[in-house]
């Protein structure tokens, strides 16, 4: 009898357009994980509304995110790719878990402080309790592992704390998720400020490469990338962050080591190197972009996959929520 696969859970917010950083740092890795794990990947549209969204654009961005998941190589018949807002259990469990989460824990969340500074005119309760909704996302599907970067590790820690607290009162209701410790994707920094991560929301259009950018646009963005006053292509994150970031991207795109890259561009200067990185990224993204364009035209297929995956997510999450409700003493509905 085949061994049951462990469950992996992850997702991305349905805002903006995915960047090269999202792809190299997470999405490309997800594709390699579905053989090893039973995977749930969310279009996290509930998390997205902590910041005001244009409804028409938001609806389209969420659908595009689902389509990009599939275009990138996530098989919607093998993985569960679903819309968070289509599964009411997320909101229900988040409310219950709010009642098992302490204010002091939420006060320590650094992302709340960072986002509050960026959106000072809209510091809302959803932004404050965001980690509890994230905990509900993960715990609903009894996830064994969650791929997280350093900036999300704090959220996984509070998820584990909430789950352990709940289990301490009611028994083994939730699995305690572990951070995914396999191969981690490349950390891609801004092309205009290599001290900060490449972001979907960066106001500088040259700072981020988007997955749907035209090949010529991609090449131009790399030619404009911030470097330093030297000419040597050498990996030195502390003293040459711009060039080191470009080397990270080139390495992740081509599979070449830093030593090989340094040898390849010895004595050639930054111009040649920037051109090579732009070409490599444009070539990498072209098949994804072509597949994305095909899928966008096939509305019936995407609709059918959304429906099937939402139903799977609903079925799985309902089992967990039903158990939670029984444990805390809710009166059962009479149908």
Which residues are part of the catalytic machinery? 115, 197, 200
CA-to-CA separations, 296 to 48, 68, 78, 214, 300, in angstroms, rounded: 22, 9, 20, 17, 10
Q: Quick check: 40 and 80 in contact, CB under 8 A?
A: yes
Q: Are 312 and 80 contacting, i.e. CB atoms less than 8 angstroms apart?
A: yes
- Burial of 44 per CB tally in 10 Å (0-12, 13-18, 19+): buried
Show the CA angle centred on residue 167, arms to residues 164 and 169, nearest 5°: 115
Q: Rounded to an integer, what distance in angstroms lies between the CA atom of residue 328 and that of residue 125?
A: 24
Instruction: Return d(Cα 143, Cα 178) in angstroms, integer.
Output: 8
DSSP state of 8: E
- End-to-end Cα, the chain, rounded Å: 38
């Amino acid at each position: 009898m085949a061994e049951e696969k462990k469950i992996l859970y992850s997702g991305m917010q349905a805002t903006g357009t995915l960047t090269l950083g999202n792809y190299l740092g997470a999405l490309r890795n997800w594709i390699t994980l579905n053989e090893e794990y039973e995977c749930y990947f969310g279009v996290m549209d509930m998390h997205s509304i902590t910041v005001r969204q244009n409804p028409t654009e938001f609806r389209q961005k969420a659908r595009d995110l689902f389509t990009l998941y599939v275009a990138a190589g996530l098989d919607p018949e093998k993985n569960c790719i679903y819309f968070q807002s289509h599964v009411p259990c997320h909101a229900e469990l988040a409310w219950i878990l709010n009642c098992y989460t302490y204010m002091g824990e939420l006060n320590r969340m650094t992302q709340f402080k960072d986002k509050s500074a960026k959106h000072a005119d809209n510091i809302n309760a959803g932004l404050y309790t965001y980690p509890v909704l994230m905990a509900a996302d993960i715990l609903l599907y009894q996830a064994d592992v969650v791929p997280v970067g350093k900036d999300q590790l704090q959220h996984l820690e509070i998820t584990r704390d909430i789950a352990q607290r709940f289990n301490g009162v009611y028994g083994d209701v939730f699995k305690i998720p572990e951070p995914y410790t396999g191969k981690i994707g490349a950390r891609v920094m801004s092309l205009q400020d290599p001290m900060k991560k490449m972001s979907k929301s960066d106001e500088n259009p040259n700072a981020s490469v988007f997955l749907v950018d035209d090949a010529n646009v991609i090449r131009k963005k790399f030619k404009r990338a911030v470097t330093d006053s030297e000419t040597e292509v050498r990996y030195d994150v502390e003293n040459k962050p711009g060039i080191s970031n470009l080397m990270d991207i080139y390495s992740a795109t081509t599979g070449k080591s830093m030593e090989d890259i340094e040898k390849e561009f010895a004595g050639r200067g930054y111009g040649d190197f920037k051109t090579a990185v732009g070409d490599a990224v444009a070539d990498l993204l072209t098949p994804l972009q072509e597949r994305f364009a095909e899928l966008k035209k096939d509305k019936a297929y995407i609709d059918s996959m959304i429906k099937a995956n939402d139903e799977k997510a609903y079925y799985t999450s309902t089992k967990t929520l039903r158990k939670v409700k029984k444990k805390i003493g809710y009166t059962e509905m009479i149908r």
